[in-house]
Amino acid sequence: MSQLHFLDMYGALIAAPSISATVPSLDMSNREVINLLASWCESLGFAVEITELDNNPGKYNLAAKLGTGEGGLMLAGHTDTVPFDDSRWQFDPFKLSEQDNKFYGLGSIDMKGFFAFVLNALQEIDNDTGLTNLKQPITILATADEETTMAGAIEIAKQNKLKPARCIIGEPTDMVPVYTHKGHMSTAIRVTGKAGHSSDPDAGLNAIEVMQLVISKLLKLKEDIKNKYSLLDFKIPYPTLNLGHIHGGDNANRICGCCELHIDMRPIPGISIPELQAMLLQAVAPINDQYPNAVAVHDLHEPIPAFSGSTDSSLVKLAEKLSGEKAQAVNYCTEAPFLQQLGCETIVMGPGSIQQAHQPDEFLAMEKIKPSQEMIKQLIVASCF
Protein backbone atom coordinates (compact mmCIF):
# COMPACT_ATOMS: atom_id res chain seq x y z
CA MET A 1 0.00 0.00 0.00
CA SER A 2 1.36 3.43 -0.93
CA GLN A 3 1.73 5.96 1.87
CA LEU A 4 -0.99 8.60 2.25
CA HIS A 5 0.78 11.85 3.04
CA PHE A 6 -1.12 14.13 5.41
CA LEU A 7 -0.64 17.38 3.52
CA ASP A 8 -1.36 15.71 0.18
CA MET A 9 -4.71 14.51 1.52
CA TYR A 10 -5.36 17.85 3.16
CA GLY A 11 -4.64 19.74 -0.05
CA ALA A 12 -6.72 17.40 -2.18
CA LEU A 13 -9.75 17.83 0.10
CA ILE A 14 -9.45 21.63 -0.02
CA ALA A 15 -9.08 21.51 -3.82
CA ALA A 16 -12.37 19.60 -4.22
CA PRO A 17 -15.18 22.22 -4.05
CA SER A 18 -18.16 20.97 -2.05
CA ILE A 19 -20.23 24.03 -1.15
CA SER A 20 -23.74 23.45 0.10
CA ALA A 21 -26.09 26.41 -0.03
CA THR A 22 -29.79 27.19 0.01
CA VAL A 23 -29.22 29.30 -3.13
CA PRO A 24 -29.32 26.79 -6.02
CA SER A 25 -26.72 28.66 -8.09
CA LEU A 26 -24.14 28.20 -5.31
CA ASP A 27 -25.03 24.64 -4.32
CA MET A 28 -22.64 21.86 -5.38
CA SER A 29 -22.35 18.09 -5.30
CA ASN A 30 -19.95 16.60 -2.75
CA ARG A 31 -19.15 13.58 -4.94
CA GLU A 32 -15.52 14.56 -5.59
CA VAL A 33 -14.76 14.64 -1.85
CA ILE A 34 -16.60 11.35 -1.35
CA ASN A 35 -14.57 9.72 -4.14
CA LEU A 36 -11.29 10.86 -2.57
CA LEU A 37 -12.27 9.48 0.83
CA ALA A 38 -13.50 6.22 -0.69
CA SER A 39 -10.17 5.67 -2.47
CA TRP A 40 -8.10 6.41 0.62
CA CYS A 41 -10.27 4.27 2.91
CA GLU A 42 -10.14 1.34 0.51
CA SER A 43 -6.34 1.60 0.39
CA LEU A 44 -6.36 1.03 4.16
CA GLY A 45 -8.59 -2.03 3.86
CA PHE A 46 -11.94 -0.46 4.72
CA ALA A 47 -15.18 -1.71 3.16
CA VAL A 48 -16.82 1.37 1.64
CA GLU A 49 -20.49 2.10 1.00
CA ILE A 50 -21.56 5.26 -0.85
CA THR A 51 -25.24 6.22 -0.88
CA GLU A 52 -27.01 9.07 -2.66
CA LEU A 53 -29.42 10.97 -0.43
CA ASP A 54 -33.06 10.10 -1.03
CA ASN A 55 -34.28 13.66 -1.53
CA ASN A 56 -31.05 15.37 -2.56
CA PRO A 57 -29.79 14.17 -5.97
CA GLY A 58 -26.06 14.68 -6.36
CA LYS A 59 -25.41 14.59 -2.61
CA TYR A 60 -23.77 11.54 -1.02
CA ASN A 61 -22.94 9.91 2.29
CA LEU A 62 -19.99 7.57 2.76
CA ALA A 63 -19.69 4.89 5.43
CA ALA A 64 -16.37 3.03 5.52
CA LYS A 65 -15.85 0.20 7.99
CA LEU A 66 -12.85 -1.79 9.11
CA GLY A 67 -13.66 -4.85 11.20
CA THR A 68 -16.89 -6.73 11.77
CA GLY A 69 -19.85 -6.64 14.08
CA GLU A 70 -21.34 -3.84 16.11
CA GLY A 71 -19.64 -1.48 18.54
CA GLY A 72 -16.30 0.20 18.18
CA LEU A 73 -15.65 3.80 17.23
CA MET A 74 -17.19 5.96 14.52
CA LEU A 75 -15.28 9.05 13.37
CA ALA A 76 -17.75 11.34 11.68
CA GLY A 77 -17.69 14.58 9.77
CA HIS A 78 -19.40 16.50 7.00
CA THR A 79 -17.96 16.92 3.52
CA ASP A 80 -19.57 20.24 2.61
CA THR A 81 -18.47 23.82 3.27
CA VAL A 82 -20.29 27.12 3.45
CA PRO A 83 -20.14 29.51 0.47
CA PHE A 84 -17.42 32.17 0.48
CA ASP A 85 -17.08 35.85 -0.37
CA ASP A 86 -14.20 36.02 -2.85
CA SER A 87 -13.61 39.74 -2.15
CA ARG A 88 -12.83 38.98 1.50
CA TRP A 89 -10.39 36.11 0.91
CA GLN A 90 -6.69 36.88 0.62
CA PHE A 91 -5.98 33.28 -0.45
CA ASP A 92 -7.48 30.94 -3.04
CA PRO A 93 -10.23 29.11 -1.07
CA PHE A 94 -9.63 25.93 -3.10
CA LYS A 95 -5.87 25.73 -2.65
CA LEU A 96 -4.05 24.79 0.53
CA SER A 97 -1.83 27.82 1.16
CA GLU A 98 0.88 28.15 3.79
CA GLN A 99 1.81 31.47 5.37
CA ASP A 100 2.80 32.64 8.86
CA ASN A 101 2.68 29.06 10.21
CA LYS A 102 -0.91 28.63 9.11
CA PHE A 103 -2.58 26.50 6.44
CA TYR A 104 -5.37 28.38 4.68
CA GLY A 105 -8.29 26.96 2.69
CA LEU A 106 -12.06 26.61 2.65
CA GLY A 107 -12.88 23.60 4.82
CA SER A 108 -9.44 23.48 6.41
CA ILE A 109 -11.02 23.24 9.85
CA ASP A 110 -14.76 23.20 9.09
CA MET A 111 -14.32 20.44 8.46
CA LYS A 112 -12.99 18.45 5.51
CA GLY A 113 -9.50 18.60 6.99
CA PHE A 114 -10.60 16.33 9.84
CA PHE A 115 -10.63 13.35 7.49
CA ALA A 116 -6.94 13.87 6.70
CA PHE A 117 -6.21 13.72 10.45
CA VAL A 118 -8.18 10.50 10.82
CA LEU A 119 -6.59 8.76 7.85
CA ASN A 120 -3.13 9.88 8.94
CA ALA A 121 -3.75 8.45 12.42
CA LEU A 122 -4.93 5.15 10.97
CA GLN A 123 -1.89 4.93 8.74
CA GLU A 124 0.42 5.55 11.71
CA ILE A 125 -1.34 2.78 13.63
CA ASP A 126 -0.95 0.50 10.62
CA ASN A 127 2.76 1.28 10.46
CA ASP A 128 3.20 0.79 14.22
CA THR A 129 1.26 -2.39 14.96
CA GLY A 130 -0.93 -3.10 11.95
CA LEU A 131 -4.65 -2.51 11.55
CA THR A 132 -5.27 -6.25 11.66
CA ASN A 133 -4.89 -6.18 15.46
CA LEU A 134 -8.28 -4.52 15.67
CA LYS A 135 -10.46 -5.62 18.59
CA GLN A 136 -13.44 -3.36 17.84
CA PRO A 137 -14.56 -2.04 14.42
CA ILE A 138 -13.68 1.43 13.14
CA THR A 139 -16.19 3.36 11.03
CA ILE A 140 -15.53 6.55 9.09
CA LEU A 141 -18.71 8.46 8.30
CA ALA A 142 -18.73 11.36 5.81
CA THR A 143 -22.04 13.18 5.39
CA ALA A 144 -23.61 15.67 3.02
CA ASP A 145 -25.26 19.05 3.54
CA GLU A 146 -24.52 19.67 7.21
CA GLU A 147 -24.17 23.38 6.51
CA THR A 148 -27.74 23.64 5.17
CA THR A 149 -30.27 20.92 5.99
CA MET A 150 -28.22 18.24 7.82
CA ALA A 151 -29.94 15.87 5.42
CA GLY A 152 -27.00 13.47 5.37
CA ALA A 153 -26.94 12.91 9.13
CA ILE A 154 -30.74 12.78 9.30
CA GLU A 155 -30.78 9.96 6.72
CA ILE A 156 -28.08 8.05 8.63
CA ALA A 157 -30.19 8.31 11.81
CA LYS A 158 -33.36 7.18 10.01
CA GLN A 159 -31.65 4.22 8.32
CA ASN A 160 -30.23 3.14 11.69
CA LYS A 161 -27.85 0.64 10.07
CA LEU A 162 -24.66 1.80 11.77
CA LYS A 163 -24.19 0.55 15.34
CA PRO A 164 -21.03 2.05 16.85
CA ALA A 165 -20.53 2.15 20.61
CA ARG A 166 -18.78 5.52 20.40
CA CYS A 167 -18.92 8.44 17.99
CA ILE A 168 -16.54 11.40 17.67
CA ILE A 169 -17.69 14.24 15.42
CA GLY A 170 -14.60 16.17 14.34
CA GLU A 171 -15.94 19.71 14.26
CA PRO A 172 -13.32 22.30 15.26
CA THR A 173 -13.13 22.42 19.07
CA ASP A 174 -9.32 22.78 19.46
CA MET A 175 -9.49 19.15 20.57
CA VAL A 176 -11.53 20.05 23.63
CA PRO A 177 -14.37 17.51 24.10
CA VAL A 178 -17.91 18.91 23.79
CA TYR A 179 -20.61 16.86 25.48
CA THR A 180 -23.67 19.06 24.93
CA HIS A 181 -24.79 21.89 22.68
CA LYS A 182 -27.83 23.95 21.84
CA GLY A 183 -30.19 23.24 18.99
CA HIS A 184 -31.21 25.50 16.13
CA MET A 185 -34.51 26.59 14.62
CA SER A 186 -34.88 29.02 11.71
CA THR A 187 -38.50 30.08 11.30
CA ALA A 188 -40.33 32.34 8.86
CA ILE A 189 -43.35 34.29 10.07
CA ARG A 190 -45.38 35.75 7.23
CA VAL A 191 -48.14 38.31 7.62
CA THR A 192 -50.54 38.53 4.70
CA GLY A 193 -52.54 41.73 4.68
CA LYS A 194 -54.51 43.48 1.97
CA ALA A 195 -52.74 45.89 -0.36
CA GLY A 196 -54.26 49.16 -1.42
CA HIS A 197 -53.63 52.86 -1.98
CA SER A 198 -52.07 54.63 0.98
CA SER A 199 -54.59 57.47 0.70
CA ASP A 200 -57.32 55.15 2.08
CA PRO A 201 -55.77 53.10 4.93
CA ASP A 202 -59.07 51.54 5.97
CA ALA A 203 -59.48 49.94 2.55
CA GLY A 204 -56.61 47.54 3.21
CA LEU A 205 -54.76 45.74 5.97
CA ASN A 206 -51.19 46.87 6.47
CA ALA A 207 -49.01 43.80 6.96
CA ILE A 208 -46.21 45.88 8.50
CA GLU A 209 -48.55 47.16 11.19
CA VAL A 210 -49.71 43.61 11.93
CA MET A 211 -46.09 42.45 12.00
CA GLN A 212 -45.43 45.06 14.68
CA LEU A 213 -47.98 43.21 16.84
CA VAL A 214 -46.24 39.93 16.04
CA ILE A 215 -42.87 41.34 17.05
CA SER A 216 -44.22 42.54 20.38
CA LYS A 217 -45.47 39.00 21.08
CA LEU A 218 -42.11 37.51 20.08
CA LEU A 219 -40.18 39.86 22.35
CA LYS A 220 -42.39 38.77 25.23
CA LEU A 221 -41.78 35.12 24.30
CA LYS A 222 -38.04 35.85 24.22
CA GLU A 223 -38.16 37.05 27.83
CA ASP A 224 -40.47 34.23 28.91
CA ILE A 225 -38.17 31.44 27.71
CA LYS A 226 -35.13 33.27 29.08
CA ASN A 227 -36.71 33.40 32.52
CA LYS A 228 -38.30 29.92 32.47
CA TYR A 229 -35.44 27.75 31.17
CA SER A 230 -31.82 27.73 32.26
CA LEU A 231 -28.87 25.36 32.12
CA LEU A 232 -25.73 26.70 33.76
CA ASP A 233 -23.45 24.41 31.71
CA PHE A 234 -23.74 26.98 28.93
CA LYS A 235 -22.04 30.36 28.78
CA ILE A 236 -25.41 31.71 27.64
CA PRO A 237 -27.56 29.54 29.91
CA TYR A 238 -30.99 30.13 28.38
CA PRO A 239 -32.69 29.55 25.01
CA THR A 240 -32.26 32.53 22.70
CA LEU A 241 -34.58 34.12 20.16
CA ASN A 242 -33.19 36.50 17.53
CA LEU A 243 -35.12 38.64 15.03
CA GLY A 244 -32.79 38.22 12.09
CA HIS A 245 -34.36 39.39 8.84
CA ILE A 246 -37.47 41.30 7.83
CA HIS A 247 -38.91 42.45 4.54
CA GLY A 248 -42.26 43.95 3.69
CA GLY A 249 -43.98 46.24 1.22
CA ASP A 250 -42.96 47.58 -2.15
CA ASN A 251 -43.64 51.31 -2.20
CA ALA A 252 -44.23 54.18 0.19
CA ASN A 253 -47.65 55.02 -1.28
CA ARG A 254 -49.07 51.50 -1.06
CA ILE A 255 -50.57 49.66 1.87
CA CYS A 256 -48.18 46.80 2.55
CA GLY A 257 -49.80 43.52 1.54
CA CYS A 258 -47.13 41.14 2.80
CA CYS A 259 -44.38 41.22 5.43
CA GLU A 260 -42.06 38.36 6.36
CA LEU A 261 -39.80 38.00 9.39
CA HIS A 262 -37.12 35.33 9.85
CA ILE A 263 -36.14 34.39 13.39
CA ASP A 264 -33.50 32.14 14.92
CA MET A 265 -34.09 30.16 18.12
CA ARG A 266 -31.51 28.12 20.05
CA PRO A 267 -33.07 25.58 22.42
CA ILE A 268 -31.12 24.11 25.31
CA PRO A 269 -31.47 20.49 26.47
CA GLY A 270 -34.71 20.19 28.38
CA ILE A 271 -36.87 22.08 25.91
CA SER A 272 -37.90 20.26 22.76
CA ILE A 273 -38.43 21.51 19.24
CA PRO A 274 -42.19 20.73 19.36
CA GLU A 275 -42.48 22.71 22.59
CA LEU A 276 -40.85 25.77 21.03
CA GLN A 277 -42.96 25.43 17.89
CA ALA A 278 -46.10 25.30 20.03
CA MET A 279 -44.97 28.39 21.96
CA LEU A 280 -44.52 30.30 18.70
CA LEU A 281 -47.98 29.35 17.47
CA GLN A 282 -49.48 30.23 20.82
CA ALA A 283 -47.76 33.63 20.76
CA VAL A 284 -49.28 34.63 17.40
CA ALA A 285 -52.68 32.99 17.97
CA PRO A 286 -54.34 36.16 19.40
CA ILE A 287 -53.28 38.09 16.29
CA ASN A 288 -54.86 35.49 14.05
CA ASP A 289 -58.00 35.77 16.18
CA GLN A 290 -58.04 39.50 15.49
CA TYR A 291 -57.04 39.17 11.81
CA PRO A 292 -58.13 35.67 10.68
CA ASN A 293 -55.42 33.68 8.86
CA ALA A 294 -53.18 36.73 8.57
CA VAL A 295 -50.14 35.14 10.27
CA ALA A 296 -48.46 31.97 9.00
CA VAL A 297 -45.49 30.23 10.63
CA HIS A 298 -43.20 27.70 8.95
CA ASP A 299 -39.70 26.26 9.39
CA LEU A 300 -36.99 27.44 7.00
CA HIS A 301 -35.19 24.11 7.44
CA GLU A 302 -35.46 20.92 9.45
CA PRO A 303 -35.08 22.02 13.10
CA ILE A 304 -32.00 20.73 14.90
CA PRO A 305 -32.65 19.58 18.47
CA ALA A 306 -30.22 20.24 21.30
CA PHE A 307 -27.55 17.63 21.91
CA SER A 308 -27.35 16.31 25.45
CA GLY A 309 -24.57 14.00 26.55
CA SER A 310 -23.21 13.03 29.94
CA THR A 311 -19.94 14.08 31.52
CA ASP A 312 -19.87 10.64 33.13
CA SER A 313 -19.70 8.68 29.88
CA SER A 314 -16.59 6.59 29.27
CA LEU A 315 -15.91 8.43 26.00
CA VAL A 316 -16.02 11.84 27.70
CA LYS A 317 -13.72 10.60 30.45
CA LEU A 318 -11.27 9.23 27.88
CA ALA A 319 -11.34 12.45 25.84
CA GLU A 320 -10.78 14.55 28.96
CA LYS A 321 -7.83 12.38 29.99
CA LEU A 322 -6.14 12.53 26.59
CA SER A 323 -6.78 16.23 25.99
CA GLY A 324 -6.19 17.44 29.53
CA GLU A 325 -9.35 19.55 29.15
CA LYS A 326 -12.73 19.38 30.85
CA ALA A 327 -15.65 18.66 28.54
CA GLN A 328 -17.59 21.75 27.56
CA ALA A 329 -21.05 22.92 26.54
CA VAL A 330 -21.23 25.16 23.44
CA ASN A 331 -23.84 27.39 21.85
CA TYR A 332 -23.41 26.29 18.21
CA CYS A 333 -24.86 23.06 16.85
CA THR A 334 -23.65 19.98 14.97
CA GLU A 335 -24.89 16.63 13.66
CA ALA A 336 -24.49 15.15 17.17
CA PRO A 337 -28.22 14.91 18.10
CA PHE A 338 -28.89 12.89 14.94
CA LEU A 339 -25.87 10.57 15.13
CA GLN A 340 -26.52 10.04 18.85
CA GLN A 341 -29.80 8.39 17.79
CA LEU A 342 -27.70 5.43 16.63
CA GLY A 343 -27.34 4.55 20.31
CA CYS A 344 -23.69 5.54 20.74
CA GLU A 345 -21.83 7.63 23.27
CA THR A 346 -21.20 10.82 21.34
CA ILE A 347 -18.88 13.80 21.64
CA VAL A 348 -17.82 16.65 19.38
CA MET A 349 -14.03 16.99 19.25
CA GLY A 350 -11.78 18.01 16.41
CA PRO A 351 -8.76 20.04 15.27
CA GLY A 352 -8.91 23.78 14.66
CA SER A 353 -10.75 26.63 16.33
CA ILE A 354 -14.46 27.32 15.95
CA GLN A 355 -13.46 30.99 15.73
CA GLN A 356 -12.20 30.25 12.21
CA ALA A 357 -15.37 28.52 11.05
CA HIS A 358 -17.32 30.36 8.33
CA GLN A 359 -14.65 33.09 8.22
CA PRO A 360 -12.65 34.52 5.31
CA ASP A 361 -9.15 33.01 5.14
CA GLU A 362 -10.16 30.02 7.27
CA PHE A 363 -7.00 28.41 8.59
CA LEU A 364 -5.43 25.67 10.69
CA ALA A 365 -2.53 26.72 12.93
CA MET A 366 0.47 24.52 12.14
CA GLU A 367 1.48 24.09 15.78
CA LYS A 368 -1.85 22.34 16.43
CA ILE A 369 -1.27 19.60 13.83
CA LYS A 370 1.01 17.20 15.72
CA PRO A 371 -0.85 17.35 19.06
CA SER A 372 -4.19 16.89 17.31
CA GLN A 373 -2.88 13.97 15.26
CA GLU A 374 -1.56 12.27 18.40
CA MET A 375 -4.82 12.71 20.31
CA ILE A 376 -6.92 11.33 17.46
CA LYS A 377 -4.56 8.36 17.20
CA GLN A 378 -4.83 7.68 20.93
CA LEU A 379 -8.64 7.93 20.84
CA ILE A 380 -8.72 5.29 18.10
CA VAL A 381 -6.24 3.00 19.85
CA ALA A 382 -8.02 3.22 23.20
CA SER A 383 -11.42 2.51 21.64
CA CYS A 384 -10.55 -0.21 19.12
CA PHE A 385 -7.19 -1.85 19.86
How far lies 281's CA from each of 161, 212, 268, 284, in Å?
36, 16, 19, 5
Q: Is 134 inside any structural domain?
A: yes
Both 53 and 136 in one domain: the answer is yes
Torsion sign, CA atoms 242, 244, 247, 252: positive
pTM of the model: 0.93
Q: Is 377 inside any structural domain?
A: yes
Nearest to 348 by CA among 334, 358, 331, 362: 334
Active site residue 250: no
CATH number at residue 353: 3.40.630.10
How far is 83 from 97, CA to CA, in rounded Å? Answer: 18
pLDDT tens, position by position, for the chain (385 residues)? 568 899 999 999 999 999 999 899 999 999 999 999 999 999 999 999 999 999 899 999 999 999 999 999 999 999 999 999 999 999 999 999 999 999 999 999 999 999 999 999 999 999 999 998 999 999 999 999 999 999 999 999 999 999 999 999 999 999 999 999 999 999 999 999 999 999 999 999 999 999 999 999 999 999 999 999 999 999 999 999 999 999 999 999 999 999 999 999 999 999 999 999 999 999 999 999 999 999 999 999 889 999 999 999 999 999 999 999 999 999 999 999 999 999 999 999 999 999 999 999 999 999 999 999 999 999 999 999 9
How far lies 176's CA from each of 89, 101, 292, 323, 349, in Å?
28, 22, 51, 7, 6
Q: Is 310 inside any structural domain?
A: yes
Q: Is 1 inside any structural domain?
A: no
Both 10 and 143 in one domain: the answer is yes
Domains in the chain, number: 2
Both 194 and 135 in one domain: the answer is no
| Catalytic residue, candidates 42, 49, 52, 80 | 80
How far lies 35's CA from each of 12, 16, 31, 74, in Å?
11, 10, 6, 19
Backbone angles phi and psi of 65, in degrees to 5: -130, 135
Both 23 and 154 in one domain: the answer is yes
Contact 107, 78 (CB under 8 A): no
Q: Is 169 inside any structural domain?
A: yes
| Catalytic residue, candidates 110, 145, 146, 345 | 146
Domain boundary among 248, 276, 299: 299
How far is 301 from 321, CA to CA, in rounded Å? Answer: 37
Domain containing residue 285: 185-299
Both 172 and 271 in one domain: the answer is no
How far lies 60's CA from each of 81, 84, 258, in Å?
14, 22, 38
Both 41 and 157 in one domain: the answer is yes
Half-sphere exposure of 43 (CA within 13 A, CB side): 15
